[in-house]
């Protein structure tokens, strides 16, 4: 099932069972729940009707079973068919994460200048738009490069998109270091850095680490879609279930959702503790509240990007697993 369907379905966790439902590979309880959902969801109803006709044709025509090759079968159903679409069929996710990431870098400016708004408020507004656009565009172009490379059977998609992303963000960081004040803009009972130095710290230790939730998972999903399209369902299954003898495709940096959840917990804890430590030490000021709001917003965006990416990644891996299982069982019964 493609991610486009989820955009129109209010119950994406149920929409994710369409492929298994059409192949008859779900439990009776799951079937009952899903069929009740079909009565209220036109999007899922249309998708089930379309896929059911194809499944029925495959199962009832012996000549077609003999002539249909595995890659064609894999490309006809499930998430793998979206590989030829923009961003591998994950356009909505790409747009959401790019916008959120752009906002995170933008709010970082306000955490450095908001406390001294009377002096640097105009500079903060002047930089906000260009920073948001630059980061969002860099993210989109990087993921587009990954999609093109992976679809073209190249194993360098992750490396090239990573270099493009880091290069674009490095250029932005250098420009902001030159534009931001070199004196301290935040008054607190603890030692604070200059605005330019503080932003450099945030870029290295807060903003860039977020890419571990975006780039490797995105490339992994694309690569596994490509493997399914090539008919290597057993290999995809072994990777998803983390079998000891699984062979990961070249250029893939596979990170399990469980590992990413652990990384999120650790880094998120540091982010929250560090923010509260800074706010506790903050000296009173006319715009101290603006700094506080910016700090909370930055933390919310940081956690939001990681959680959205982790949820999307887990959903895609689960759908890839469902597709691999359903198609393996179908081919076994041929």
What confidence tier does 3 reach under pLDDT thresholds 50, 70, 90? very low
CATH architecture, range 3-68: Orthogonal Bundle (1.10)
Tens of pLDDT, residues 235-252: 888 888 888 788 888 899
Does residue 50 register a pLDDT over 80? no
Please tell me whether residue 229 adopts helix, strand or coil conformation: helix
Bigger pLDDT: 3 vs 125: 125
What mean pLDDT do residues 157-183 have? 96
**CATH 1.10.10 residue ranges for the chain:** 3-68
Predicted TM-score (pTM) of this structure: 0.77
Instruction: Answer for the pair 325, 20: CB distance below 8 angstroms, yes or no.
Output: yes
Alpha-carbon gap, residue 77 to 7, rounded angstroms: 18
Alpha helices in the chain (DSSP H): 3-8, 12-15, 18-22, 28-38, 42-60, 62-67, 70-76, 91-113, 117-151, 157-179, 195-202, 215-229, 233-240, 257-281, 288-332
Strand partners, 188: 282
What mean pLDDT do residues 168-178 have? 97
Tens of pLDDT, residues 90-149: 999 999 999 999 999 999 999 999 999 999 999 999 999 999 999 999 999 999 999 999
Q: Which of 113-127 are b and which e, b meaning 16 or more Cβ less than 10 Å from the residue's Cβ?
A: bbbbbeebeebbeeb
């Amino acid at each position: 099932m493609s991610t486009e369907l989820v955009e129109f379905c209010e119950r994406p966790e149920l929409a994710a069972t369409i492929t298994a439902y059409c192949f008859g590979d779900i439990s009776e309880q799951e079937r009952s729940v899903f069929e009740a959902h079909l009565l209220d969801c036109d999007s899922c109803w249309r998708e089930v009707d379309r896929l059911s006709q194809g499944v029925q044709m495959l199962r009832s025509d012996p000549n077609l079973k003999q002539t249909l090759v595995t890659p064609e079968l894999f490309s006809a159903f499930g998430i793998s068919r979206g590989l030829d679409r923009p961003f591998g069929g994950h356009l909505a996710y790409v747009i959401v994460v790019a916008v959120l990431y752009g906002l995170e870098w933008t709010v970082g400016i306000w955490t450095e200048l908001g406390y001294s708004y009377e002096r640097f408020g105009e500079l903060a507004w002047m930089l906000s738009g260009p920073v948001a656009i630059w980061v969002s565009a860099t993210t989109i172009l990087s993921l587009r490069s990954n999609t093109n490379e992976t679809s073209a059977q190249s194993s360098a998609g992750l490396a090239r998109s990573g270099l493009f992303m880091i290069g674009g963000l490095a250029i932005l960081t250098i420009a902001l270091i030159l534009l931001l004040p070199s004196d301290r803009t935040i008054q607190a009972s603890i030692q604070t850095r200059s605005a330019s130095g503080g932003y450099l710290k945030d870029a290295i230790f807060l903003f860039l680490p977020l890419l571990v939730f975006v780039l490797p998972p995105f490339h992994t999903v694309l690569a596994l879609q490509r493997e399914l399209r090539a008919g290597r369902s057993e290999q995809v299954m072994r990777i998803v279930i983390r079998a000891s003898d699984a062979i990961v495709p070249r250029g893939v940096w596979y990170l399990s959702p469980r590992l990413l959840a652990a990384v999120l917990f650790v880094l998120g804890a540091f982010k929250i503790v560090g923010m509260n430590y800074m706010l506790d030490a903050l000296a009173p000021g006319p715009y101290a509240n603006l700094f506080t709001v910016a700090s909370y917003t930055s933390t919310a965006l940081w956690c939001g990007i990681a959680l959205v990416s982790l949820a999307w990644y887990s959903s895609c891996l689960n759908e890839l697993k469902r597709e691999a299982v359903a198609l393996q069982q179908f081919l076994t019964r041929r």
